[in-house]
Homo-oligomer: A and B are copies of this chain.
Amino acid sequence: MITKVLIAEDHESANISVQKTLEELSITNTSHAYYCDDALNKVVNAVKAGDSFDLLITDLYFEPDGTKQVIHSGTELITAVRAIQPDLKILVFSAENKPATIDLLHRELDVDGFVRKARHDAKELKQAIKELAQHRRYFPRHIMQLIDKKNVYAFTDFDITVITLLAEGVLQKDIPSYLQNKGIKPSGLSSVEKKLNQMKEALEFTKNEQLIAYCKDLGII
């Protein structure tokens, strides 16, 4: 049974509508946090007081506004609260639609649900909370389809390093020295060229610019 919920969301308006949705599910014991640090504090205090939360609904992106914060993003918040209260159910409510990010939430951070801020998000939110109350996870099919699509090529750490360097403006011929400085091998220019060719061939691209655009779209870099 879900009765006590914490909402971590910097947008006041989003906060309001989440609360309203919860009210429609007869959940009135809600707390709000407009900053990640504040959210973590509330979780800590609730556990200390022996009155812990049942569910955390959190956004991923929190806009900096000048006030110093230790935790800056929803993903960091998730790992932090998990360390404090492992059994806390976590539902991510975000406009995020990059497959890489959603995949991270699903597999590595192992959150209980994801609802994308979109046309029918309030209805979805209700559905998700109902599912979570039944101890099921909520990742709608149309979201998971996004994830599968990205599996046309599995980017390795090496791939990502090389692409990131390119996106930062490093000349291809200068990449080997960067790799050596970081102790990454292989570091030869030919190896870099080979990797780039492999990626481009797998994705049917011909130019580095396409790779950059593709990786940006998927949130890989």
Contact = CB atoms under 8 A, between A and B. Distances in A.
Interface of A: 10-18, 20-21, 34, 63, 65, 95, 117-123, 125, 166-169, 171, 205-210, 212-213, 216-217, 221
Contacts of A216: 212-213, 216-217
Given A65-B119, A169-B210, A209-B212, 8 more contacts: A13-B122, A14-B117, A16-B122, A20-B20, A169-B209, A209-B209, A212-B216, A213-B216
B63 A119 contact: yes
A171 to B, nearest CB: 7
Nearest to A164: B213
29 contacts: A10-B119, A11-B118, A11-B119, A11-B121, A12-B120, A12-B121, A13-B14, A13-B17, A13-B117, A13-B121, A13-B122, A14-B17, A15-B17, A16-B16, A16-B21, A17-B20, A20-B20, A63-B118, A63-B119, A95-B95, A166-B207, A166-B209, A171-B207, A209-B209, A212-B212, A212-B213, A212-B216, A213-B221, A216-B217
